[in-house]
């Protein structure tokens, strides 16, 4: 088979994937607003999780087609991309101030989920049972988020305010919202299948592991909706929404994306996943928490120096992966 065909499949798949993801999130947000969901829930769950729909579709299909390594690489690689590339780049453009108390609660949770991932990787496989644990944790988190949003003062949080301001600029009807959601979901499934096929074919042609393909090309591509959403929020100076997108997305990647893929097919993970990929993901998550939560009395924020640090880590990590492939 000519190698250009899988390359075209990846490019076309990514283009359709990004476009359909944006339509899916816009439709889901509009539908949620008409159904009466609170701004806090929309900001944390619908937008944060919705922008991870590409990762979920790609990883589920990859696992179904016998490439669980691609699924795991996509999830962990997207987490690294979200923090290193997206937040790093956004903070370089404009420093981010963190006001949301909800985000201050979610960041330690993200750290705990990251440690749970390390424990599951200890024996080199994420089993079906361990994957179910991830999905149960996700369900508990969603339930807690719903309970918290209904408490007095829950929608007075800075994240809820940012989301409410964003919703005021949207005038999509309920019918149109439902149609965009369904169309976006359909195209997400189709484009994910095209993308997975192209990625697997290229990995086989060049003798590259599907894990590496997932950590690089696929991870960056499926993270583009988060980048678009973050830049859009930055233009409106909705700093907490920028961070909320990434935190919600990373929680969803670690719990739902890996959990669903592992339920479909147990995921074998070599020692390099824990020693290299998880370590970088954990380091970036820790730095993000340190910067955003503040330390030694310093208010939580991401300044340009800290953004540059995250971006440099991402570039170094990606460069190492590419060089390791070239050396083979």
Nearest alpha carbon to residue 167 among 53, 52, 25: 25
Averaged confidence pLDDT in the chain: 84
What 3-state DSSP class applies to 125? strand
Give me the percent of the chain exceeding a pLDDT of 90: 33
Q: 24-72 pLDDT, tens per residue? A: 878 887 887 777 777 666 766 777 677 778 888 888 988 998 888 899 9
DSSP secondary structure string for all residues of 205-216:
HHT--HHHHIII
Count CB-CB contacts under 10 A for residue 44. 30
Residue 268, C-beta contacts closer than 8 angstroms, at least 6 positions apart:
68, 69, 124, 125
Q: 74-103 pLDDT, tens per residue? A: 999 999 999 999 999 989 988 887 776 767
d(CA 14, CA 87): 21
pLDDT at 43: 66
Nearest alpha carbon to residue 58 among 251, 225, 218: 218
Instruction: Spell out the domains of the chain, with CATH numbers in brackets.
Output: 3-327 (1.20.1420.30)
CA-to-CA separations, 100 to 82, 83, 169, 180, in angstroms, rounded: 19, 18, 21, 30
Q: 239-287 pLDDT, tens per residue? A: 677 787 888 889 999 999 999 999 999 999 999 999 999 999 999 999 9
Whether the Cβ atoms of residue 53 and residue 79 lie closer than 8 Å to each other: no
Residue 124 has pLDDT above 80, yes or no: yes
Residue 256, C-beta contacts closer than 8 angstroms, at least 6 positions apart:
49, 52, 56, 134, 135, 138
């Amino acid at each position: 088979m000519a190698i250009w065909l899988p390359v075209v499949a990846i490019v076309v798949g990514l283009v359709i994937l990004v476009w359909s993801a944006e339509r899916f999130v816009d439709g889901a947000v509009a539908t949620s607003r008409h159904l009466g969901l609170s701004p806090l829930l929309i900001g944390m769950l619908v937008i944060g999780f919705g922008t991870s729909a590409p990762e979920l579709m790609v990883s589920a299909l990859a696992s179904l087609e016998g490439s669980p390594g691609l699924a795991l690489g996509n999830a962990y690689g997207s987490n690294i991309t979200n923090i290193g590339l997206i937040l790093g780049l956004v903070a370089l453009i404009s420093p981010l101030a963190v006001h949301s108390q909800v985000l201050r609660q979610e960041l330690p949770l993200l750290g705990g989920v990251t440690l749970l991932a390390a424990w599951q990787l200890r024996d080199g496989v994420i089993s079906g049972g361990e994957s179910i644990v991830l999905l149960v944790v996700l369900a508990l988190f969603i339930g807690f988020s719903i309970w918290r949003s209904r408490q007095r003062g829950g929608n007075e949080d800075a994240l809820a305010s940012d989301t409410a301001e964003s919703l005021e600029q949207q005038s999509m009807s309920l019918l149109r919202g439902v149609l965009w959601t369904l169309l976006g979901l359909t195209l997400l499934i189709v484009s994910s299948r095209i993308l997975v096929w192209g990625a697997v074919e290229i990995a086989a042609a060049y003798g590259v592991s599907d894990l590496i393909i997932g950590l690089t090309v696929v991870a960056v591509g499926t993270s583009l909706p988060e980048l678009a959403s973050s830049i859009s929020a930055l233009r409106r100076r909705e700093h907490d929404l920028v961070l909320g997108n990434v935190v919600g997305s990373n929680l969803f990647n670690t719990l739902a994306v890996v959990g669903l893929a592992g339920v479909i097919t147990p995921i074998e993970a070599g020692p390099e996943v824990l020693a290299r990929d998880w370590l970088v993901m954990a380091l970036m998550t820790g730095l993000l928490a340190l910067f955003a939560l503040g330390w030694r009395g310093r208010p939580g924020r991401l300044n340009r120096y800290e953004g540059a640090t995250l971006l440099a880590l991402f570039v170094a990590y990606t460069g190492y992966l590419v060089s390791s492939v070239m050396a083979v």
